C-alpha cells in the first residue's frame, strides 16, 4: 500500500517493482547494458512471488527498457531511447484505427523503430495514464489520436506541456495548433461543404447533419456542412449532435427523432459525420419503412467496411493507412532534425447511389 497526502492508494506489487527498477535506471546506477538485480533478489527485496517479479520484468521488456537473456540475466536496453515510439488511438476496435496503426507500424518497422500501442477506449483519463507510463518508460516520441478533442476534457494542455519538455509529438486527425507539434489531418471542412452542395444539386430543401460533438473532425465537418447549407439557402437545416461514442446506439435515437417528424417537415437528406452513424440512420429508416435513396438521401464519411450498405452509400474515402504512415514519417523527421509539419490529406468523394432527387 502506498500513502500519498494521507490517502491510502493500493498499487499492485508488480507496479512497485517496475517503478523501483525505472527509478534505479534513471538515476544512472546502471550503465548501458548494465545487469539488473536477479529475479531472486527482487523476490527477497519485495517479498514477492516469482510470478509477480516476472510480470514487472515482462512489462519493462515489452516497453523496450530492458532485455532478458535466459541463463545470463536482465540488462538495460541501450537502444531504447532512440528506437521506441508510442502510438495511442481512440478506440482500437473501431473500423478506422486499426488501419491507421498498421500504416504507422509498417513505416516504423522499415526504419528500425519499435512501437508501443495504446488504446484510450475513448476515455481522456485512460489516454493520459497510458501516455504518462510511456514517458516514464523513455519513449522517444508519440503519435496521438486524441479523444474528446473538441472539448475541455481533452488532454490538449497536457500534451502542450509535454512538447515544452522536449517530447516529440504528432497529433492525428486533430489540429490543436500547438507550437512544436506536427499533425496529420483530413480536409474535413471540404467534406462537409461538398455534402451540402451535392444535396443542393439534387434539389433537396430540408437537410440535416448527424454528428459527434466531442470529436473535432466531426465538429468541423458538421459546421462546414451547416455554413455551406445556409449559403445555399436550404429551407430547413436540422442539427443533431451527440456527445458519446457512436457505438452506444445514441445516433439511432437521434435518427428516430429526425425521421418521425411530420412528412412536410422532416429532412429528405442527411449528412452523417461517419459511416457508422450513417448505418444506424439507415437501420432506423428501414424500420420506419423508408427507402434509401427514394425517401431519404444519405452521405457518410470514411468509406468504411460496414456490410451491404457500403455498396450504395455515397461517402468520402478516408486514407487510413496513409494517415498512419505519414504520422510516423513526420515523427521521424522531428526526431532527426526537429522539423515540424502540418499535413492535410484530401478525402476522396466516392459517389454511389444513396443520393437522389426527393420524392416529395
> CATH 1.10.10.10 occupies which residues in the chain?
2-76
Q: Under CATH, what is the fold of the domain 80-187+319-347?
A: Rossmann fold (3.40.50)
User: What per-residue confidence (pLDDT) applies to 28?
Assistant: 74
Q: What is the pLDDT of residues 320-344, one digit of tens each?
A: 999 999 999 999 999 988 899 999 9
| Strand pairing category for 141-144 and 114-119 | unpaired
Assigned CATH class of 188-317: alpha beta
User: What per-residue confidence (pLDDT) applies to 275?
Assistant: 96
Q: What is the pLDDT of residues 195-216, one digit of tens each?
A: 999 999 999 999 999 999 999 9
Q: In sequence order, what are the residues at sequence separation of 6 or more whose Cβ sits closer than 8 angstroms to the Cβ of residue 12? A: none
User: What per-residue confidence (pLDDT) applies to 93?
Assistant: 83
User: What per-residue confidence (pLDDT) applies to 5?
Assistant: 43
User: What per-residue confidence (pLDDT) applies to 19?
Assistant: 84
Q: In sequence order, what are the residues at sequence separation of 6 or more whose Cβ sits closer than 8 angstroms to the Cβ of residue 101? A: 87, 89, 92, 117, 324
> CATH 3.40.50.2300 occupies which residues in the chain?
80-187+319-347, 188-317
CA distance 82 to 204: 56
User: What per-residue confidence (pLDDT) applies to 67?
Assistant: 84
User: What per-residue confidence (pLDDT) applies to 288?
Assistant: 97
For the chain, strand residue ranges (E) read 2-4, 7-9, 66-69, 73-76, 84-89, 114-119, 141-144, 168-172, 182-186, 206-212, 236-242, 269-272, 297-299, 315-317, 342-345, 348-350
Task: Count CB-CB contacts under 10 A for residue 183.
Answer: 22
pTM (2 d.p.):
0.81
- pLDDT under 70: residue ranges of the chain: 1-10, 31-33, 78-82
Q: In sequence order, what are the residues at sequence separation of 6 or more whose Cβ sits closer than 8 angstroms to the Cβ of residue 325? A: 103, 104, 106, 107
Q: In sequence order, what are the residues at sequence separation of 6 or more whose Cβ sits closer than 8 angstroms to the Cβ of residue 329? A: 107
Q: Under CATH, what is the fold of the domain 2-76?
A: Arc Repressor Mutant, subunit A (1.10.10)
User: What per-residue confidence (pLDDT) applies to 225?
Assistant: 98
Task: Count CB-CB contacts under 10 A for residue 23.
Answer: 11
Amino acid at each position: 500500500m502506498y500513502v500519498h497526502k494521507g490517502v491510502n492508494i493500493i498499487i499492485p506489487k508488480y507496479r512497485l517493482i517496475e517503478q523501483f527498477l525505472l527509478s534505479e535506471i534513471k538515476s544512472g546506477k546502471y550503465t548501458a547494458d548494465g545487469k539488473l538485480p536477479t529475479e531472486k533478489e527482487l523476490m527477497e527485496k519485495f517479498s514477492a512471488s516469482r510470478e509477480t517479479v516476472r510480470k514487472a520484468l515482462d512489462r519493462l521488456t515489452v516497453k523496450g527498457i530492458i532485455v532478458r537473456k535466459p541463463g545470463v540475466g536482465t540488462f538495460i536496453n541501450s537502444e531504447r531511447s532512440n528506437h521506441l515510439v508510442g502510438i495511442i488511438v481512440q478506440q482500437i476496435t473501431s473500423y478506422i484505427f486499426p488501419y491507421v496503426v498498421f500504416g504507422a507500424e509498417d513505416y516504423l518497422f522499415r526504419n528500425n523503430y519499435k512501437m508501443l500501442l495504446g488504446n484510450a477506449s475513448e476515455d481522456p483519463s485512460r489516454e493520459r495514464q497510458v501516455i504518462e507510463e510511456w514517458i516514464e518508460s523513455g519513449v522517444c516520441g508519440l503519435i496521438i489520436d486524441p479523444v474528446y478533442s473538441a472539448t475541455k476534457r481533452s488532454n490538449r494542455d497536457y500534451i502542450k506541456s509535454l512538447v515544452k519538455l522536449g517530447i516529440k509529438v504528432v497529433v492525428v486527425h486533430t489540429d490543436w495548433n500547438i507550437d512544436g507539434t506536427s499533425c496529420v489531418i483530413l480536409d474535413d471542412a471540404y467534406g462537409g461543404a461538398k455534402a451540402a452542395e451535392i444535396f443542393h444539386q439534387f434539389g433537396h430543401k430540408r437537410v440535416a447533419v448527424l454528428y459527434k460533438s466531442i470529436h473535432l473532425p466531426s465538429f468541423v465537418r458538421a459546421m462546414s456542412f451547416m455554413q455551406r447549407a445556409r449559403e445555399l439557402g436550404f429551407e430547413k437545416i436540422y442539427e443533431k449532435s451527440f456527445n458519446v461514442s457512436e457505438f452506444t446506439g445514441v445516433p439511432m435515437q437521434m435518427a428516430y427523432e429526425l425521421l418521425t417528424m411530420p412528412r412536410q417537415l422532416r429532412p429528405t437528406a442527411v449528412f452523417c459525420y461517419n459511416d457508422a452513424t450513417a448505418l444506424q440512420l439507415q437501420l432506423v429508416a428501414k424500420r420506419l419503412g423508408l427507402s434509401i435513396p427514394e425517401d431519404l438521401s444519405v452521405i457518410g464519411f470514411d468509406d468504411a467496411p460496414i456490410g451491404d450498405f457500403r455498396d450504395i452509400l455515397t461517402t468520402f474515402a478516408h486514407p487510413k493507412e496513409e494517415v498512419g504512415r505519414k504520422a510516423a514519417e513526420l515523427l521521424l523527421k522531428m526526431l532527426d532534425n526537429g522539423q515540424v509539419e502540418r499535413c492535410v490529406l484530401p478525402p476522396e468523394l466516392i459517389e454511389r447511389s444513396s443520393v437522389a432527387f426527393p420524392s416529395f
